[in-house]
Structure 1
Amino acid sequence: MTALLTVEDLDVRYGDAQALFGVDVTVEAGETLAVIGANGAGKSTLLKTIAGLLRPGRGRIRFDGRDITGLPAHRRAPLGIALVPEGRRLFPSLTVEENLLIGAGLAKARPDRIYELFPHLVALRRRGAGLLSGGEQQAVAIGRALMSDPRLLLLDEVSLGLAPIVVKQLYAVLPAITAAGTTVLLVEQDVNQALAAADRVQCLLEGRVALEAAAGDVSRAAVTRAYFGV
């Protein structure tokens, strides 16, 4: 396999507070990597930095061999990086379909593939996004990111605030997304869901990498030690 994304020795700060300390991440083309950890571990900070929303104080980010450390977010998106942010961040006054079309940018992509992945959105396509349930909004947020046909999909806290059955439905589409050629880096607090969905798992503890292993090989005891630092 070939590395699609390489993060090297990454430091990120919010003013005087440092959120990431020398973090290394490698995501191979075609795989799914899950980043887990407690609240405040630095997971969302990592995704925002990869997407270009935050600038690192130190380190390098390479995408398909190209150094993109200095590129702003609007120049990373055309390269094939799409972020599904925590909290969905939809435009509530726009319809489902209008939110999806925004994700296409200047491309003339149609939402047909998104409706295949999420058939329940077809009946909702003219409904305002602000009137949707949390699970429906999350499906739209994922669909919006997929409208740009990304090579790397960054998923931030898919399960946050959603019922287990809804989370299961959302994660059920992940194999179809990866089968279409999209590499996935997902941040998840639900350890069981992360291990079930990913090829590899990486755990952050207070901004540092505490564990990295194949999802099928790592023991629950090792995850617990890395997650809580015990």
Structure 2
Amino acid sequence: MLEVRDVEARYGDALALSRISLEVAEQQTLAVIGANGAGKSTLLRCLAGLMPVSAGQIRFRGESLDRVPAHRRVAAGISLVPEGRRLFASLTVTDNLLVGAHQRRPGPWDLDAVFEALPLVAQRRDRYAGALSGGEQQAVAIGRALMANPELLLLDEVSLGLAPVVIKQVYEVLPAIKAAGTTVLVVEQDVRQALAVADEVHCLLEGRTTLTGPAGSVSQEEVARAYFGV
């Protein structure tokens, strides 16, 4: 479904991604792990069309995403849950979800389906997003992305700053997302959580790939070396 070939990205003169290559198969979950500053969020921004690549190519369903703006990538089937949630604080939960349906494609996800998959969201549907806890906002952000009926869902640091019990609740929705036919690429600092939900793992360190492989076959020692570069 997704092919990334020798992608590089820069912030000015600083190289943030160095010749990154990866593939995501249909209905697979790929976890991209790495410490803060490894380039994980930069990779997702490139995939979502929020940041240009300086070299290499990204292809989705065999089609190049060169010069395809972010809103057209959503219409093509790519949705991003950004780091920090980025909800509209003055809108209700339901209205935030409806914003996500602006570029809605045909598919299984609508308000009723999101409320069923995310009971936390359903219970707070009439509240203003700005009054929600961090975990509640994260659940709404996932629901908003699903409202576009993506083929590929990009999750950026969904557990960041959340309590373990809330992280568990957020991640419990992933099986339902996969069962609906959605492919998932999740970026995480929490290695244990990432490996628990992923089919494949891809580790970044300072913008470089240090480990790839099936999540169930990589050892803790291999992950530690790749994650910390030791």
TM class by shorter chain equals over 0.9
Report the CA distance between 1:28 and its aligned residue: 0.4
The runs of 5 or more residues in structure 1 that have no matched partner are: none
Q: Secondary structure at the match of 2:155?
A: strand
- Distance, in Å, in 1 between the alignment partners of 2:113 and 2:97 is 11
Deviation, structure 1 residue 35: 0.2
Choose the corresponding residue for 2:41, options 41, 44, 50.
44
Question: In the alignment, which residue of structure 2 is the partner of 1:75?
Answer: 72
Deviations 1:202-227 (A, max 9, x none): 00011010000100000000000000
Amino-acid identity (%): 63
Q: CA deviation at 1:106?
A: 4.8
Counterpart CA distance in 1 for 2:204 and 2:104 is 36
Q: What letter matches 2:19 in structure 1? A: G
Matched residue count: 227
Aligned to 1:99: 96
Determine the C-alpha separation between the residues in 2 that align with 1:110 and 1:218.
Answer: 37
Q: Which residue of 1 aligns with 2:156?
A: 156
Q: What letter is aligned with 1:41?
A: A
Partner of 2:127: 127
Once the two structures are superposed, residues 138-190 of structure 1 have per-residue CA deviations (whole angstroms, 9 ceiling, x without a partner) of 00000000001100000000100000010011111101100100000000000
The answer for the alignment partner of 2:139 in structure 1 is 139
Q: 1:72 offset after TM fit, Å?
A: 1.0
Distance apart, 1:124 and its partner CA: 1.1
CA RMSD, Structure 1 to Structure 2 (Å): 1.1
Stretches of structure 2 lacking an aligned partner (at least 5 in a row): none
Q: With structure 1 as the length reference, what TM-score do the two structures score?
A: 0.97
Query: Which region of structure 1 is more displaced relative to structure 2, 65-74 or 104-113?
Result: 104-113
- TM-score normalised over the length of structure 2: 0.97
My pick for the range that moved more, 113-122 or 220-229, is 113-122
| SS of the residue 1:227 aligns to | helix
Equivalent of 1:63 in 60, 65, 78 = 60
Choose 174-183 or 120-129, whichever is displaced more.
120-129
Name the SS of the counterpart of 2:216 in structure 1: coil
